[in-house]
Amino acid sequence: MINPSVAIIGGGPAGLLAAQHLAEAGVPGVAVFEAQATAGRKFLVAGHGGFNLTNGEPVADFGPRYAERQREFEQYLAAFGPTELRAWAAALGISTYVGSSGRVFPTEEHKPAQLLRAWLRRLAELGVSLHTRHRWLGFDGAAGLRLRDERSGQEFILQPRATLLALGGASWAKTGSDGRWAAVLTTEAGVPVVPFQPGNCGVEVGWSAFFREKVGRTPLKNVALRCGESTARGEIMLTDYGLEGTPVYALTPAIRQALAAGGPAPLLLNLKPDVAAAELLMRLQQPRRGRSLPEVLRQQLRLGPPVPTLLREAAPAEALHDPARLAALLQALPLPVSGLRPLDEAISTAGGVPFEEVDKHLMLRRRPGTFVAGEMLDWEAPTGGYLLQGCFSTGAWAARGIAQWLQTQRPA
Ligand SMILES: Cc1cc2nc3c(=O)[nH]c(=O)nc-3n(C[C@H](O)[C@H](O)[C@H](O)COP(=O)(O)OP(=O)(O)OC[C@H]3O[C@@H](n4cnc5c(N)ncnc54)[C@H](O)[C@@H]3O)c2cc1C
């Protein structure tokens, strides 16, 4: 029967990296337990959309990406940051490059599944055992764990010297990250869990039936969005339910906060972020000479479809004939956001284990010997490689804490 010295629950990036670091540090008997039939399912899902492993910006600029958790993440990143992450991939035979947006990707010839396969091979060579279809059910006494072998339905108890919980967030449940661990942690260990909320997700706008039918899914390139004090630039996608795209995702925390205050979140769309307001007004003040609004927008401002339809949808009709009001709207068109898309669709999850519940080694204060890493901790970051980097960095940091813990627990 399995009798690991360290049990790692969850075979996502955080758990697998911790397993690798522990095995490389010479810790024997490291075992990973994963509820799904294969490890790294969400890691592979991340691979479908471009597989953005980390970011090429200077590591000094990384900290603020983790918002209120900047201080903690600066520490984790100093130990295992983007340079170490790229070196790790290279050691597995996967070269990476920095794209024009600063995002770091594996080179063209390397597919995500290839990286995962090479990684699992490396873990096996290091002696890490991987037990798929093994679900963690909860705790047993001070250090024990209850697990179920999903193939036989048999339940059993482990008594590892240390445990790492790396159970992920609560989106894309079909990958295994179903957030069911939160109730167990609260009822069995008394750990309060900050309620899950969608992070990096699309938003809902109550478009008219006419707009939904006419516009469907249409990109708007090179725009800026503002919600309160937060701004983001890039390409957004108009969809039949609202908006998607990197700038929308980046504003999720601000939109969530605005929605929590009641009423629609005031999202402002700037369709011409690179043109000064005075210049925009000057161009719109040119005599129309019988031209229609779409012709004026296209000829004076190079704004083609779907902008005229969007303006008719979101702006008062009379404002479209007044150059001053039109100029102002083109740079701050209010899009009333009525809600965030459902949690299960989100790229990441806000909420989870509060940092107040873990010590500086990421060990649960209420359960010595049990550590936590990855998305299940309560932190948020935008897309752009900061999510996986955060999971890898916390996984590496927890592994370090576990190795130290094992030293202190040595029998005299
Ligand atoms: C569509 C999409 C695209 C993304 N793209 C990117 C990207 O390009 N760049 C980026 O940085 N990030 C991206 N991410 C985010 C990234 O994939 C996650 O942040 C990361 O996978 C989280 O790692 P983790 O190890 O914390 O958890 P997970 O990867 O969620 O792994 C947790 C594991 O725990 C297992 N588990 C859960 N409960 C139990 C249990 N009771 N017993 C045993 N096992 C259990 C799960 O099955 C799962 O395998 C994307 C996410 C999505 C959904």
Ligand 1 atom at minimal distance to the Cα of residue 388: 11
CB of 12 shorter than 6 A to ligand 1: yes
CA–centroid distance, 138 to ligand 1, in Å, is 20
Residue 177 makes CB contacts below 8 A (sequence gap 6+) with 12, 42, 167, 168, 169, 170, 171, 349, 375
How far is it, in rounded angstroms, from Cα 115 to Cα 134?
A: 23
End-to-end CA distance of the chain: 27
Most ligand 1 atoms within 8 A of CB, residue of 167, 171, 178 to mutate: 167
The closest alpha carbon to 329, from 313, 343, 305, belongs to: 313
Residue nearest to atom 13 of ligand 1 (CA): 46
Residue nearest to atom 30 of ligand 1 (CA): 168
CA–centroid distance, 170 to ligand 1, in Å, is 9
Q: Are strands 203-205 and 134-140 parallel, antiparallel or unpaired?
A: unpaired
Determine the pLDDT at residue 109.
Answer: 82
Determine the pLDDT at residue 1.
Answer: 57
CB of 43 shorter than 6 A to ligand 1: yes
CB of 106 shorter than 6 A to ligand 1: no
From first to last of the 412 residues of the chain, give the pLDDT tens digit. Answer: 578 999 999 999 999 999 999 999 999 999 999 999 999 999 999 888 788 999 999 999 999 999 999 999 999 999 999 999 999 999 999 999 999 889 999 998 888 999 999 999 999 999 999 999 999 999 999 999 999 999 999 999 999 999 999 999 999 999 999 999 999 999 999 999 999 999 999 999 999 999 999 998 999 999 999 999 999 999 999 999 999 999 999 999 999 999 999 878 889 999 999 999 999 999 999 988 899 999 999 999 999 999 999 999 999 999 999 999 999 999 999 999 999 999 999 999 999 999 999 999 999 999 999 999 999 999 999 999 999 999 999 999 999 999 999 999 876 5
How far is it, in rounded angstroms, from Cα 349 to Cα 367?
A: 24
How far is it, in rounded angstroms, from Cα 311 to Cα 296?
A: 13
Residue nearest to atom 46 of ligand 1 (CA): 176
CB of 50 shorter than 6 A to ligand 1: yes
CA–centroid distance, 303 to ligand 1, in Å, is 39
The closest alpha carbon to 135, from 172, 171, 165, belongs to: 165
Most ligand 1 atoms within 8 A of CB, residue of 181, 343, 347 to mutate: 347
How many Cα neighbours within 13 Å face the side chain of 119? 27
Residue nearest to atom 4 of ligand 1 (CA): 46
CB of 247 shorter than 6 A to ligand 1: no
CA–centroid distance, 348 to ligand 1, in Å, is 8
Superfamily of domain covering 6-198+346-408: FAD/NAD(P)-binding domain (3.50.50.60)
CA–centroid distance, 323 to ligand 1, in Å, is 49
CA–centroid distance, 252 to ligand 1, in Å, is 19
CA–centroid distance, 196 to ligand 1, in Å, is 14
Contact 106, 53 (CB under 8 A): yes
Ligand 1 atom at minimal distance to the Cα of residue 389: 11
Structural domain spans, the chain:
6-198+346-408, 203-340
CA–centroid distance, 182 to ligand 1, in Å, is 15
CA–centroid distance, 411 to ligand 1, in Å, is 36
Most ligand 1 atoms within 8 A of CB, residue of 9, 41, 156, 387 to mutate: 387
CA–centroid distance, 169 to ligand 1, in Å, is 7
CA–centroid distance, 231 to ligand 1, in Å, is 27
Determine the pLDDT at residue 412.
Answer: 52
**The total number of residues written for the chain in this structure:** 412
- Computed on alpha carbons and rounded to an integer, the radius of gyration of the chain in Å comes to 25
